[in-house]
Amino acid sequence: MRKGVSAAAALCLLVFFCPPVASPEMFDLESVIIFALKHNPSLRIAEKNVAIERSGVESAKAERMPKVDFGSGATRYRYPLPLTPIFLPSTLSFSTLANLQIPDFERTIYDAGASFRLPLYRGGRIAGNIRIAETREALAKENYRASQQDLVFNLTSVFHKILQLQRLLAANEASVKQLEDHRRNAELFLKAGTAPRLDVLKAEVDLAHGRDNLLLVRNNLESTLELLKDLMGIEEAGAAITITAPPASEAALQSREEDIRTALSRRPDYLAISKKKAIQEDRIRVAWGKWLPDIYGSGQYIKKGGDGTSFPEDWFLGLRLTIPVFDGGLIRQEVDREKAELEKVRQEERAMRLSIFREVKDAHLGIANASDRIGVAEKAIESARETARVERLKYETGAATGTDVIDSQAALLRSEADYYQALYDREIAFAARRKATGESEWAKEVLR
């Protein structure tokens, strides 16, 4: 019997017990946003808030409908009580008294019946509460849209941060490779006796520093990828994704003043404050309505019986009017409180308007600043790349020191890092402008 296992058998066992590794799923920015809008849990919570407020509208409308209840019970009394009220005619005589029917008296009384109550007028409070509920639903929808835009901005920021880190990772890998080549050259020159040992030691130190930076960038990239998956709502542990770079954003077409007007007309968080203001105005009207009469109709149909008796019926219909006369200033305090809440919402609206002015201005300045930095960084990279090439050639011919080579390589890496940072800042500034103006073109695919 063979003690070993053939290579073919081992390969079959490996394939059987080790499932194939799934290839990473590819996402561009648009597909990332669409996926997140469907699966992000925080956005689903905001969506459920809309459904909750929609139920509140139906509850407010139900206040206009009659309330019908059925009830029954059994009660034990100390003394016998009549099952129905005792009826006495308006004129008493011997003939009427002779024909007077005395109801049954029982100590244990069983009853069953139905009652209703129909509001007829409540000082406009029912209509006001319906308007409040409908406005709260509209407010929840604006908050949902605001949550969408916040999520899209965060996704865009993280997406472009990943692109920046990927490019920075490639630059660090190239820098480490150049430092490794420089260390090998320094070792060769040391053996040839044309370079001091200090050049080798310095090359090793800078190479170790470059490898540390490379590891740091790689770890930041992994962490940022996990953050993107979290924002997208991907629950699978260890799910691998890759992203592709989108085309560069175009320059802003509208002026700052036009963007501000656009923002004030479609920013969901700004529109939400106007909904809050409308709610407070209706709440003041509802509070005022408590000073007005309350009119409602009511009725009841009931049967009562005792031990060994029949169940005689009884009923009534009525119309009632209630007018508040004195409540210790309770309604006045409620009206004043709602007015104070309205003033607070007006100040929130003013603060939001000032914030919109600042956000639009900062976005425009950020786009201009990053665009200028990109042009400067491109020239700096070209210059640093040529300087590093020249210094390496000079070192190989003995006309430069190892320090010059390492310094030129570090300058090239800094120039590349500045360039990638400027690219990232420019894309984030465009995303900030879209968020500041309330742009929602990204949602068309989802809302279709």
Q: How many CB atoms lie within 10 A of CB 356?
A: 20
Report in angstroms the alpha-carbon separations of 355 from 108, 221, 259, 350, 366: 72, 32, 13, 9, 16
Helices 268-289/125-192 angle, 10° precision: 150
pLDDT of residue 90: 63
Band (pLDDT 50/70/90 cuts) for residue 264 is very high
- String of b and e for 27-43 (b: at least 16 CB within 10 Å)? bebeebbbbbbeebeeb
> What are 354-376's pLDDT values in tens digits?
999 999 999 999 999 999 999 99
What 3-state DSSP class applies to 68?
Answer: strand
Q: Which residues pair with 82 in a beta bridge?
A: 105
- Asked which of 112-121, 210-219, 271-280, 435-444 is least confident by mean pLDDT, the reply is 435-444
C-alpha span between 347 and 140 (Å, rounded): 20
Query: Best-predicted range by mean pLDDT among 2-6, 7-11, 319-323?
Result: 319-323
Instruction: Give which of 356, 312, 372, 269 is closest to 113, Cα–Cα.
Output: 312
What tokens appear for 25 in the block?
């799923």
The one-character DSSP state at 83 is S
**Domains in the chain, CATH or no CATH each:** 22-66+133-292+326-447 (1.20.1600.10)
Considering just the CA atoms, what is the radius of gyration of the chain in Å?
A: 40
Q: What is the pLDDT of residues 268-301, one digit of tens each?
A: 999 999 999 999 999 999 999 999 999 999 999 9
The CA distance from 431 to 302, in Å, is 69
- Stretch 5-9: mean pLDDT: 50
The CA distance from 345 to 386, in Å, is 60
Confidence of residue 203 (pLDDT cuts 50, 70, 90): confident
